[in-house]
Chains A and B, each alone.
Chain A
């Protein structure tokens, strides 16, 4: 029975890590879809968020095989920074921060186009949702991991 309990705990941890990886992978493919298929040029803030996002796909995948519960330790800093950037970006987008402070510049032959899925979900919000879920899962995973 003892042994069983241990296996379940490991499985739950693994599952959490897998979910975190799933979020990063879906977000990565989504952001590539926006830029390469829909041809939205990423703005500066988008790029900074991508810097935090893309490596997580590999870091978390590496943590899954063989399972290393400490993966969260390495993934959380990136997820945290990404979350801060996404939050700032969303505040800018929602105009809570004055627009003239907006650091997004027009890239090479890029227009300022923002899409809103289902009428309200813009790209910055999608990023914020992804980073929030990701950080939450990683924090839970870290709490469950014995130091």
Chain B
């Protein structure tokens, strides 16, 4: 009898855990889909750096931290999607500087945008990530010597990155990340649908399924 009660309780609780997690995840996806229709701004701000055609109907939004290793590893997927489906995909980069000291690097990135070197700088920072991070900490002094590699005017970056306008952009991106429940980076959304489960293959599948919806053969 006691054994039965114990086993029944254990099984019931474990089942509740899985049912609960299923409902939580589907509820979140539904809510985000709803937000994507009504609050598209939360996903893409007018100032957000984008790549790809203006006509594209599939928006791949990435909340990224330049100091995050997985973000660097995933940086190729956005590019691949743009190349594989020209004109149909638009890539949007949002900032989610969760690592200590990352916000300084993000402000450098935003300053590089004023010299039209945003994507080059981002790619270089991802590639050389090991040179300027240590145990997931940003060492800003090691970022500066890398900047001339992409042809940046370092002095101009230094003055531009302290522009309050840039601080506002970073703040807005962080608050949008919070609103969308992004707690880990990279945080991907395809037309407002969160990447769930996380992974390279699910990301490709999510993009393809959204392409099928937006561009029926």
Contact = CB atoms under 8 A, between A and B. Distances in A.
Contacts of B6: 18, 21, 61, 64-65
Contacts of A61: 6
A106 B100 contact: yes
Interface in A5-52: 14, 18, 21-22, 25-26, 29, 32-33, 36-41
B188 to A, nearest CB: 14
A37 B20 contact: yes
Chain B binding surface SS class: helix
A14 B2 contact: yes
Nearest to B186: A109
Contacts of A109: 65, 68, 98-99, 136, 184-185
Interface stretch (B9-17, B41-49, B53-61, B105-113): B9-17
B180 to A, nearest CB: 12
Contacts of B127: none
A113 B182 CA distance: 11
A92 to B, nearest CB: 20
A61 B65 CA distance: 43
Interface in B65-117: 65, 68, 98-100
Contacts of B99: 108-109
From A32, A109, A111, name the one whose CB has the most chain B CB atoms within 10 angstroms: A109
A65 B98 contact: no
Interface of A: 14, 18, 21-22, 25-26, 29, 32-33, 36-41, 61, 64-65, 67, 106, 108-111, 113
Interface of B: 2-3, 5-6, 9-10, 13-14, 16-17, 20-21, 24-25, 65, 68, 98-100, 136, 177-178, 181, 183-185
Given A29-B17, A110-B183, 4 more contacts: A33-B20, A33-B24, A36-B21, A40-B183
